[in-house]
Amino acid sequence: TTPAPGAVHVPEWLPEERQRELVEACRGWARGPVPMRRTELPGGGVMSVQSVSLGWHWSPYRYTRRAGDVNGAPVAPLPEWLVELGRRAVADAYQDEAAGRAYRPDVALVNFYGAGATMGMHQDKDERSDAPVVSLSVGDACLFRLGNTEGRGRPWQDLRLESGDLLVFGGPSRFAYHGVPKVYPGTAEPSVGPATGRLNLTLRETGLPG
Ligand code: MD3
Ligand code: FE
């Protein structure tokens, strides 16, 4: 389905077996070299979501090769199989093999939503590229809010994202405000995991050199 121009939602895109593999991979990345942690914001706040990134380190609001907030630890590389998964996601979502081949993500952000975690309405504008963002959800379902490009307020559309769902945001939706107002605890398929909570993995092109 197409909730907005350039935005494509493909329910149940990732087979359960691949979801399980993604949870296992996230467990590994969460251990380090940059551990999964709540990012501290420059204003003094702390995000309720826990995050770790691959390829580049996201620290608000820029990308670096080392984690300044974690003793300068070098970030783990973005594995080639994730790059390929992102290219397949773009090709499938847009039904356009050339769009998939053109997509070269160089960073993955892994977000974990534990009990009560939410993400406020924001734009992703730290990338110097208008290439699509690919989002994969695993675990508990959530309420995802896709807003407009003008501000945090209405109009917006509410979507329920389930484990295995793919969302691709390109074109006019790439710089839309969006957020996750709620996670529905206990809605995950127990065999997939995580035991509780929601994982979201986004792939992006930073537009930064090598
Ligand atoms: C729409 N993550 O990491 S993914 C983020 O579920 C982020 O963890 C949310 O927003 C999450 O920045 C939402 C879906 C998503 C990601 C990027 C977008 C939607 C987007 C960029 C532009 C428009
Ligand atoms: Fe975002």
In what helix (H) or strand (E) does residue 25 lie, and over which residues does it extend?
helix 16-31
Any domain includes 160: yes
Q: DSSP letters along 70-126, please?
A: GTTEEPPP--HHHHHHHHHHHHHHHT-HHHHHH----EEEEEEE-TT--EEEE----
Any domain includes 172: yes
Any domain includes 34: yes
Tokens of 11: 């329910």
198/183 Cα distance (integer angstroms): 7
Tokens of 2: 């197409």
For residue 65, the SS3 value is coil
Any domain includes 69: yes
Per-residue pLDDT reduced to its tens digit, 23-58: 999 999 999 999 999 999 999 999 999 999 999 999
Name the CA radius of gyration of the chain, rounded. 16
Any domain includes 62: yes
Ligand 1 binding pocket mutation candidate from 178, 184, 201 (most atoms within 8 A of CB): 178
Please tell me the residue having the least CA distance from ligand 1 atom 11.
Answer: 200
List CB-based neighbours of ion ligand 2 within 5 Å: 124
The domain tally of the chain equals: 1
* Complex confidence, ipTM: 0.97
Give me the residues paired with residue 183 across strands. Answer: 142
193 Cα to the center of ligand 2, angstroms: 23
Average pLDDT score over residue span 67-90? 95
Ligand 1 binding pocket mutation candidate from 62, 109, 118, 133 (most atoms within 8 A of CB): 133
167 CB near ligand 1 (under 6 Å): yes
Average pLDDT, the chain: 96
75 CB near ligand 1 (under 6 Å): no
Cβ neighbours of residue 166 under 8 Å, at least 6 residues apart? Answer: 8, 9, 10, 13, 14, 89, 92, 93, 134, 135, 136
| pLDDT at 114 > cutoff 80 | yes
30/54 Cα distance (integer angstroms): 10
Can you give the pTM of this predicted structure?
Answer: 0.97
Per-residue pLDDT reduced to its tens digit, 160-200: 999 999 999 999 999 999 999 999 999 999 888 778 899 99
Mean pLDDT is lowest, of 72-76, 119-123, 201-205, for 72-76
Q: What is the pLDDT of residue 210?
A: 83
Q: Amino acid identity of 183?
A: V
109 Cα to the center of ligand 2, angstroms: 10
User: Phi, psi at residue 11, to the nearest 5°?
Assistant: -60, 145
- Please report which ligand is nearest the Cα atom of 53: 1
| pLDDT at 77 > cutoff 90 | yes
Any domain includes 1: no
Any domain includes 165: yes
Percentage of residues in the chain having pLDDT higher than 70: 100
125 Cα to the center of ligand 2, angstroms: 9
CB 161 within 8 A of CB 137: yes
Query: What is the residue range of 48's domain?
Result: 7-204
Any domain includes 198: yes
The CATH number assigned to the domain holding 98 equals 2.60.120.590
Q: What is the pLDDT of residue 23?
A: 97
